[in-house]
Amino acid sequence: MKIKRAQHYGMCFGVRDAIDLAREHSKGQPLTILGDLVHNEKVMEDFRRSGVTVERDTSRVKSTKVMITAHGASRKRIEEVRSLGLEVVEATCPLVRYAHRTVEKLVSRGFYPVIIGKKGHVEVLGLTEDLAECTVIENPGEIEQIPPHPKLGVAAQTTQPISRVRGMVEMIRQRFPSSEVYFMDTVCRPTKERQKAIEDLAVECDVVLAVGGRDSNNTRQLAEKSRALGARAYHIQGPEDIDAAWFSGEETVGITAGTSTPDELIDAVEARMEQIASGFAKRVMSEVAAV
Ligand code: SF4
């Protein structure tokens, strides 16, 4: 069995910085994080153990300081929180801020905003809540929901697969041939690097393990992409999810991870795979010795 890691994987700088900021602001004082700082249950559990609370509903906040996650929030939402007398710490990723500025620019230039992303996702809510009007579409079937407009400005949630986004932009152009359809690429670089790396890994490997929280959208996408490229892929949360029965010992196994997966977890998955691989190697040796 061969084990390979993707060239780009795991925690991005945006999530890493947000975690550092949460640690800094929770030293010796209560902090409430508004929503999941990362879509990773293990990281969030560590925060809860150190006294940090997580709330979605601001009426339940007990601390005076609250943190907006790397996913960002709308100005409206931040003002609502401040109006409750709470101090706001913003851990918004600079690449999410770029997406906000991009959408604002499109609107100020007279474009009707179309966001390609997951409806109801915290980042998409942050991108759209300040807008007077917009349409969020998740898949090509929803292009029909875009109202006719002479100028359509398209942007995307930062973690959407770029090839899919570009494909949908083309479909929008075909659906509205007389409109000016302007696309601003807001998919972030760490996401693009991971998507490119998974394409390379999936074609080289028989099996891909995508490590990340159950709710991590980008980990799910890494597993889906691997399957689309012909690998058998599993979305796992950690080494304990790996079943040795998935392998015959002959495979090349690739390991990748979502943008909120801590390095220690990826190391632990690799260590578990090394253990499984050495079990297969020992079995082969003893079979050879018995012949
Ligand atoms: S996935 Fe991209 S946009 Fe989101 S926090 Fe990471 S770097 Fe920032």
Task: Name the closest-CA residue to atom 8, ligand 1.
Answer: 14
Ligand 1 atom nearest the C-alpha of 14 is 5
Between vectors from CA 227 to CA 226 and to CA 233, what angle results, nearest 5°?
75
| Angstrom distance (rounded) from CA 151 to CA 91 | 33
Identify the active-site residue in 24, 104, 123, 193. 123
Full-model pTM: 0.89
**Distance (Å) from CA 142 to ligand 1 centroid:** 25
Mutate to test the pocket of ligand 1, among 97, 162, 259, 261 (most ligand atoms within 8 A of CB): 259
Ligand 1 atom nearest the C-alpha of 95 is 3
Query: DSSP string of 49-97?
Result: HTT-EEES-GGG--SSEEEE-TT---HHHHHHHHTTT-EEEE---HHHH
**Distance (Å) from CA 212 to ligand 1 centroid:** 15
- Give the pLDDT of residue 37: 85
- Give the pLDDT of residue 47: 87
Q: What is 13-93's CATH topology?
A: Rossmann fold (3.40.50)
Pocket of ligand 1 (CB under 6 A): 12-15, 70, 93, 95-96, 158-159, 188, 190-191, 259
**Distance (Å) from CA 226 to ligand 1 centroid:** 21
User: Digits of tens for pLDDT over the chain (291 positions)?
Assistant: 999 999 988 899 999 999 999 999 998 889 999 988 877 777 788 888 888 999 988 889 999 999 999 999 999 999 999 999 999 999 999 999 999 999 999 999 999 999 999 999 999 999 999 999 999 999 999 999 999 999 999 999 999 999 999 999 999 999 999 999 999 999 999 999 988 999 999 999 999 999 998 888 889 989 999 999 999 999 999 999 999 999 998 999 999 998 889 889 999 999 999 999 999 888 777 877 776
| Angstrom distance (rounded) from CA 107 to CA 104 | 5
Known catalytic membership, residue 138: no
Cα–Cα distances in angstroms (integers) from residue 18 to residues 115, 160, 186, 223, in the given order: 24, 20, 20, 25
From the list 71, 62, 30, the residue with the least C-alpha distance to 48 is 30
- Helix residue spans in 112-216 (DSSP H): 122-128, 162-175, 189-204
**Distance (Å) from CA 33 to ligand 1 centroid:** 17
From the list 241, 233, 181, 247, the residue with the least C-alpha distance to 213 is 241
Ligand 1 atom nearest the C-alpha of 93 is 8
Q: How confident is the prediction for the chain on average, in pLDDT? A: 93
Q: Which CATH class is domain 95-187?
A: alpha beta
**Distance (Å) from CA 248 to ligand 1 centroid:** 36
Q: Is residue 286 packed enough to be buried (19+ CB in 10 Å), middle (13-18) or exposed (0-12)?
A: exposed
Task: Name the closest-CA residue to atom 2, ligand 1.
Answer: 188
Q: Which CATH class is domain 2-9+190-290?
A: alpha beta
Domain boundaries, the chain: 2-9+190-290, 13-93, 95-187
Task: Name the closest-CA residue to atom 5, ligand 1.
Answer: 14
Q: Do the domains spanning 2-9+190-290 and 95-187 agree at the CATH topology level?
A: yes
- Give the pLDDT of residue 240: 96
